[in-house]
Structure 1
Amino acid sequence: MSLVSKDKAPAILITGASGGIGLATLIACLKENWHVFAACRDEKKLKETLASADISASDIEHHLTVLTYDVSDQEAVKQAFRQIQQSPFSLYGLVNNAGVMLDSMLGMTSLAQFEQQLLVNVTACFQHLQLASRLMTKQKQGSIINVSSVVGLDGASGQVAYSTSKAALLGMTKSAAKELAKLNIRVNAVAPGFIETPLTDAYQDEKRQAVLNNVGMKRAGTANEIAATIVHLLRSDSAYITGQCIRVDGLMTVA
């Protein structure tokens, strides 16, 4: 089942679209023939990556608009939404994916590091959610997916700042879902476990194996597996799902 649009053609905004889960979600959406606004900081890098991906040049040319900005720059975010509003597309979906991850013990985490986690993982997501919901309110439909983490649900030793930010994102998801449900705007979250992305590249050898030992399926997940869940939540056949957090973690226990 395709996306629903009343007037303009529907489009999806994906933040952090140049790598990892964001890139996998971008490619999955292009394969659905949805128009995508891909937010990233390096347009050249994104297009070079897409050129070698399993996606046709025609899909890239006709279904992709790249928006180059820093998600933590509030004025740049506002300008990006002005571009979307002035485009021939209506914003149907938002994937709040851009994020940063800090591995640091509580006693070694500076306030500046803590604030950076909140700025990118919470404040930027809030601004995107707020501006997207305003556009969606006009058409009385939409689907917003916040990319959280299992550590936002369970906590994790050595990730106090990161888990705090991802837990805040879950509270934001549930509250926004309750507020926007009457407008037919759905808000959900996905909570990935240990996924093969640039964020987890530092986990190698014994450190990596220690994590995988706590995964029921005994393997890391892939960005494509997270993207598949996100695409399902964007599709109109998930129209009765809102206010939920879906774990995609291979049955992971977080220490």
Structure 2
Amino acid sequence: MNLSGKTAVITGGSRGIGRAIALKLAELGANIAINYTSTPHKAEEVVALVRQMGREAIAIRADVSDGEQVQHMMKEVEEKFSTIDILVNNAGITRDTLLMKMKDEDWDQVMAINLKGTYNCTKAVSRKMMKQRSGKIVNIASVVGVMGNVGQANYAASKAGIIGFTKSVAKELATRGINVNAVAPGFIQTEMTDVLSDEVKEALLNSIPMRQLGTPEDVANVVAFLCSDDARYITGQVIHVDGGMVM
């Protein structure tokens, strides 16, 4: 898998899965644009690591739920690198609570970042990719968007929406040489899972046939494959990286 000369935009790329994806794509030769909102020092850390590999990198602060900010971000990437070859829609938030306790803002914020953010960024790069007659778009969904989860009606709905969005856009852009796929991670070892109690972790492991949490690198490896020419004949698919949770 060789991404030399390619430019990749990774939303929510300063931490966790996004960070792992950025570093993996850079390792394969891509120049990297990191999008972030609240952790500039983390984003700059990723930029520094990418540059140590001999690639170019920039960090851009933008709220993906705001279409105007997304347009400015993509324009800045084009001005820096001239092309946008890869988009990874990774930015996402959770506002977990039971439906009966859920506030309107809990629903709206999750939908705005997770689903509308994916829409905004994909729409912003699609015209450029269509002119190039090439491009790779990978949307980070979740197993929760397939099977649901107690206390995550908003998150599950947003991720299920991403899956439907992926399939529809894949059909629209396929004739222009653009591949659009989704990756659905299961329980991945991140800052979010680090704070869970031993009892909760044990319950999680019991729900996973492989009896272990995944790593951000497990997800990044699949994303890298989908961004490469090795996956040229794959589009509109949802790849599960979940240790067998959903079969």
- Shorter chain as normaliser: what TM range? over 0.9
The residue aligned with 2:242 is 249
Q: Which amino acid aligns with 1:2?
A: N
Q: Secondary structure in 2 aligned to 1:22? A: helix
Give the one of 37, 40, 45 matched to 1:43. Answer: 40
Aligned residues: 246
Give the one of 26, 48, 58 matched to 2:52. Answer: 58
1:142-171 C-alpha deviation (Å, 9 max, x unpaired):
010000000101111221111000000000
Give the one of 20, 30, 33 matched to 2:29. Answer: 33
The residue aligned with 2:219 is 226
Contact 1:101 1:199 in 2 (8 A): no
Q: Which amino acid aligns with 1:30?
A: A
Matches of 2:127 and 2:192 in 1, distance apart?
31
The residue aligned with 2:201 is 208
Tell me the CA shift for residue 43 of structure 1: 3.1
Q: Which amino acid aligns with 1:40?
A: Y
Matches of 1:161 and 1:114 in 2, distance apart?
5
Contact 2:170 2:235 in 1 (8 A): yes
Structure 1's 23 and 154: CA in aligned 2 closer, same or farther, altered over 3 A?
same
Structure 1's 35 and 57: CA in aligned 2 closer, same or farther, altered over 3 A?
closer
Which shifted more, 32-41 or 67-76?
Answer: 67-76
Give the one of 19, 22, 30 matched to 1:23. Answer: 19
Q: Secondary structure in 2 aligned to 1:203? A: coil
Contact 2:87 2:122 in 1 (8 A): yes
Structure 1's 50 and 142: CA in aligned 2 closer, same or farther, altered over 3 A?
closer
Structure 1's 236 and 49: CA in aligned 2 closer, same or farther, altered over 3 A?
closer
Matches of 1:170 and 1:57 in 2, distance apart?
33
Contact 2:23 2:46 in 1 (8 A): no
Pair 1:108 & 2:101 matched: yes
Which shifted more, 242-251 or 102-111?
Answer: 102-111
Identity %: 37
1:208-238 C-alpha deviation (Å, 9 max, x unpaired):
2111110001110000000000000000111
The residue aligned with 1:13 is 9
Contact 1:214 1:253 in 2 (8 A): no
Pair 1:125 & 2:118 matched: yes
Give the one of 203, 224, 228 matched to 1:235. Answer: 228
Contact 2:3 2:29 in 1 (8 A): no
1:19-52 C-alpha deviation (Å, 9 max, x unpaired):
010000011111112111111123333223665x
Pair 1:142 & 2:135 matched: yes
Q: Which runs of 5+ in 1 are unaligned?
A: none
Tell me the CA shift for residue 88 of structure 1: 3.4
Structure 1's 177 and 200: CA in aligned 2 closer, same or farther, altered over 3 A?
same
Contact 1:33 1:63 in 2 (8 A): no
Tell me the CA shift for residue 197 of structure 1: 1.5
Matches of 1:93 and 1:186 in 2, distance apart?
10
Tell me the CA shift for residue 204 of structure 1: 2.3
The residue aligned with 1:87 is 80
